[in-house]
Structure 1
């Protein structure tokens, strides 16, 4: 009697790219959120562009491609999308002159943020099927984008500041999820809880 053929999961030879994607997302989100929260002046916003390109953008996008190789649709869509978000943020904020748009420039940014709020909303719903730690990242990120969107549409600084504060919380939660994955791998056991889906 022949032994059943062993099925090898796709990308099983690859390390888990999620901790890299989460760390890249956390670092870039933290820096920009500190500015949005008013802890640093808006004049230093350009300081986030390097992170936006190389860490939040390229490194996170690469993590998404590795998730595709591992067969993880959720991780692939999340990391590639938010990697592209940071690259588009760099291009929009650092390379695009919207002066000719006049008053419509602010509205364009508002709709840009609204689009990311909608995307984050449905990814948040899907994240509830992943783990508690990942879901916490998406819940706080959704609130962050929603607050920033309201601020962009209304022009009221309060909403942007609130979005910055929640963005800092989002970064901390993402760092926790990244740390848990790295530590649990090195410990060879689930030492740091991530509240996986039952």
Structure 2
């Protein structure tokens, strides 16, 4: 059974830097996503600004620098880049920028998330899933900003919230030594799939 839940490095098995980064990313994505879904009465994406600044921005950026110090280039790149995303998003929240400028910002960071999803080691399934969900969320938000409407923003919120839950589970699994993949079982003679 594969217990690799780190944020990316193929050789990593859940370093404290990686766990901290996964927790920070999970909390930020969850708050950001739930704000966009409007599922909690009175909660909007603007309510996630403080969390995005300090937990998503500063904590992820510092975790990225620590990962570089540990010679984990993928995790360092991921966390530093995402720290910049969250800090910039939070710093610009409330400012008057055009919808097209906001859409372009989101689209560019969607491409960063796509690069992270494609570049994550194959053994880090939860990491790939987190970055893929972040990519979809940012892409939907970008299209929404370009004129796609509130329904796309709400859908993006759900993708971000699920991505946050996946990142949070990855960190918790590393701390609690829970499995992160289902054991693979080859179908042999006489074994049939049901369903």
1:124 to 105, 111, 117: 117
Task: Find the counterpart in structure 2 of residue 52 from structure 1.
Answer: 52
Residue aligning to 1:114: 107
Q: After TM superposition, give the deviation of residue 47 of structure 1 in Å.
A: 2.6
Question: Is the Cα contact below 8 Å between 2:170 and 2:180 reproduced in 1?
Answer: yes
Alpha carbons of structure 1 residues 48 and 76: separation in structure 2 relative to 1, 3 Å: same
1:195 shift after superposition: 3.8
> TM-score, normalization: structure 1?
0.78
Cα offset, 1:128, TM superposition = 4.2
Question: How far apart, CA to CA, are the structure 2 residues paired with 1:144 and 1:166?
Answer: 5
TM-score normalised by structure 2 residue count = 0.79
What CA distance in whole angstroms lies between the structure 2 residues aligned with 1:111 and 1:75? 25
Tell me, in whole angstroms, the C-alpha distance in 2 between the residues paired with 1:128 and 1:142: 17
Partner Cα separation in structure 2 for residue 132 and residue 194 of structure 1: 8
Matched, 1:27 2:13: no
Secondary structure in 1 matching 2:180: coil
> 2:147 aligns to what?
154
Unmatched tracts of structure 2, length 5 or more: 1-11, 183-195
Counterpart check, 1:143 vs 2:136: yes
In structure 2, what is the Cα distance between the partners aligned to 1:72 and 1:49?
Answer: 29
Mapping 1:44-123, distance limit 5 Å? 44-94=44-94, 96-98=95-97, 105-123=98-116
Larger radius of gyration: 1
Measure, in 2, the Cα distance between the counterparts of 1:93 and 1:28.
15
Corresponding residue number in structure 1 for 2:161: 168
The one of 176, 179, 182 aligned to 1:193: 179
* RMSD over aligned Cα atoms: 2.1
| Runs of 5+ consecutive residues of structure 1 not aligned to the other structure | 1-11, 99-104, 185-191
Deviation at 1:44? 4.3
Query: What's the secondary structure of 1:17's corresponding residue?
Result: helix
Bigger proportion of residues as helix:
1
CA contact (8 A) 2:116 2:128 kept: no
Aligned-pair CA distance for 1:42: 7.3
Q: Please say if residues 36 and 42 of structure 1, whose CA atoms lie closer than 8 Å, have aligned partners that are also in contact.
A: no
Partner Cα separation in structure 1 for residue 100 and residue 42 of structure 2: 19
> SS at 2:93's partner residue?
helix
Residues 128 and 147 of structure 1: CA distance in aligned 2, closer, same or farther (over 3 Å): farther
**1:60 shift after superposition:** 1.1
